[in-house]
Amino acid sequence: MASGIKDKVVILGMGCSKFGERWESSPADLMVEAFEECLTDAGIERNQIEAAWFGAGIDAFNVGSSAMPMSIALRLNYIPVTKVENMCATGTEAFRGAVYAVASGACDIALALGVEKLKDTGYGGLPQRTRGVENDMYWPNLSAPGAFAQLASGYRAKHKVNGDDLKRAMAHVSVKSHANGAKNPKAHLQREITEEQAINAPYIAEPIGLFDCCGVSDGSACAIVTTPEIAKSLGKENLVAVKALQLAVSNGTESGHASWDGSYLKTTRIASQRAYDEAGIRRPKEEITMTEVHDCFSITELVTMEDLQLSGEGKGVKDVLDGAFDAEGSNPCQIDGGLKCFGHPIGASGLRMLYENYLQLQGRAGARQLSDPKLGLNHNLGGFPHQNICSISIVGPYGQVGSA
C-alpha cells in the first residue's frame, strides 16, 4: 500500500527571476536568472544535478519544444531532462517529476524549472491559440477571462448572490493581492489599488473587469530537491519538506454531465482532499497557514477558497469581505501578491508560488514574513472551469507538523 510522498523529499534550494515585462530578456536569460539563485541557495554544483524536469506551457511563443532549450540554456551535464506541459499546472508538474524521481530512489538530486515568455505576442492578455483540431471546430472562441467569467455566473446563480456583492468581494480579492504585491520586489505589479478602481474598471468578460484579471508577464522559477538525509549531510537546517503532491484532471463529466452546475471547481475539491489525506491534514482551515492559489481571476480565488474547505460552501463572499484571506486574516492567501501581481508565465507559476511558501517557512520573506508559518499550500488550475487540471502541493517543516 503506497504511503504517499509526505516527508520523503525536501527542497534543497529555490530561485525565482524578477517577473514582469522582460522585453530585454530571452527565455534562456530568465531560466539562468532563476537557476543561478537556486544553485547558490542549494549550495551545490551544476554537475551534482542528476535529472531535471522542464516546464513550459506554450511552445509557440516560447523556447520551442522538447527539453533541449533548458539543457542548453543551463549547460546541464547531459543528464536526463524531461519536458512537461499540463497547462497552468505545468510548473507544479515539473516539480512533481523531480520529487517523484528523488522519492523513488532513482536519483539523489533533481531539478525542476518552469519558464514562460508571454510578452512576445504583440498584445495584452494570454496569447490566442488553438485548442486542438477537434475542439476548434465547435468550442466557442473563448478567452481565459471568458471561461472563468462563467464561474461567476454559475456561482451567482447557485448561491443566489447579489451581483454587486459578488463584484465587491471580487474587488476585495484583487485589492488584497495588490497590497501584498506592493511589498514584493520580484512582483510585476507593485502598487496598491482601491476597491473603487477594481469595481469601476472596464469589463473584460462580464462580470470580470480589468482588475479582476491577473497580470501577463515573463518569468522563471526553479527548485532543487533531494532526500532529507542528503540535505542534512550537506549541512542544511530548517528543512522544507513536501507533505503532499496531488493532481486531478477533468474527465469530461463537468462539461458534459448534468451533475456539475458550473458553480465550483470539481478537480480542486478532489485534489485538495487527496492532498489533505496524504499530508495527514484533518482541519485544513486550522492547519494550513498560508495559501498560494491560482488567482488567474479574482472569482477563481474566491471559489477556490470554498473548494479548499477554507471557506464554507456559499460563504466565500462573506469570508473574503471579512478579510479572512488578507495578510492579517486567519488564512492569508497570495502573501507574495499572487498571479494578480506576478502575472502568470504559465510554466513558471507553480514553482513561483512554491518559492513564496519556501521563503515563508524559512523565515526569509522580508517585509511579507508571516509569524510562525506551519503549512503552505500551492494550488494551480490549468484550463477552464468546465475542463481543467488541478495541482495541489503542500509543504511544511520536515517531520514536524500534520495531525496524522
Partner 1 sequence: MKGITAYGVYLPRLRLNRQAMVEANAWFDSSLKGLGKGERSICNWDEDTITMAVEAGIDCLSALQEKTLSGLNLASTTAPFVDRQNSVLVAEAMNLNSQIRTIDIGSSQRAATSALIAGLESARQGNEMMIASEHRRTKAGSRAEMLWGDGAAALTVGDEEVIAQCLAVATNAVDFVDHYRGEGSDFDYDWEERWIRDEGFMKIVPQAVSAVLESAGRVAAEIDHFILPTDQARTPAALAKKLGISPDAVVDNQIASVGVAGAAQPLIMLAKALESALPEQLILLLGFGQGCDAILFQTTDRIERCRPDRGFSGALNNRREETNYHKFLSFNNLVERDIGKRGEVDKQTFLSGFNRRKDLLTGFIGGKCRVCGTVQIPREKYCVNPECRALDSQDNFSFANQPGTVLTWTADRLTFDWSPPAYFGMVQFECGGKLMMDFTEVEEGTIDSGSRVSVHFRIRQFYAQRGFRKYFWKAVVES
Asked if 1 touches partner 1 (CB under 8 A), the answer is no
Q: How far is the CB of 290 from partner 1 (least distance, A)?
A: 30
- In the region spanning residues 124 to 143, those forming contacts with partner 1, defined by CB under 8 A, are 125, 128-130, 133-134, 136-143
Interacting span for partner 1 (CB under 8 A) from 182-190, 253-261, 337-345, 362-370:
253-261
Does residue 207 have a cis bond before it (omega within 30 degrees)? yes
Of 172, 178, 188, 344, the catalytic one is: 344
Q: With respect to partner 1, which residue has the nearer C-beta, 270 or 324?
A: 270
Asked if 259 touches partner 1 (CB under 8 A), the answer is yes
Q: Which of 2, 78, 105, 257 binds partner 1 (CB under 8 A)?
A: 257
Asked if 149 touches partner 1 (CB under 8 A), the answer is yes
Cell triple for 120: 512576445
Q: Which of 40, 162, 238, 253 binds partner 1 (CB under 8 A)?
A: 253
**Dihedral pair phi/psi, residue 114, rounded to 5°:** -125, 145
Output the furthest CA–CA distance in the chain (Å, rounded). Answer: 58
Say whether 341 is catalytic.
no
Say whether 386 is catalytic.
no
Q: How far is the CB of 385 from partner 1 (least distance, A)?
A: 8
Site string for partner 1, 232-251 (x = CB under 8 A): --------------------
Q: Which of 146, 228, 314, 329 binds partner 1 (CB under 8 A)?
A: 146
Q: Which of 83, 117, 156, 178 binds partner 1 (CB under 8 A)?
A: 156
Site string for partner 1, 84-123 (x = CB under 8 A): -------------------------------------xxx
Asked if 165 touches partner 1 (CB under 8 A), the answer is no
Q: With respect to partner 1, which residue has the nearer C-beta, 34 or 216?
A: 216
Interacting span for partner 1 (CB under 8 A) from 204-212, 238-246, 271-279, 362-370:
204-212
Interacting span for partner 1 (CB under 8 A) from 5-13, 92-100, 205-213, 315-323:
205-213
By CB under 8 A, name the binding residues for partner 1.
Answer: 121-123, 125, 128-130, 133-134, 136-143, 145-146, 149-154, 156-157, 202-206, 208, 252-253, 255-259, 261-262, 385-386
List the catalytic residues: 88, 344
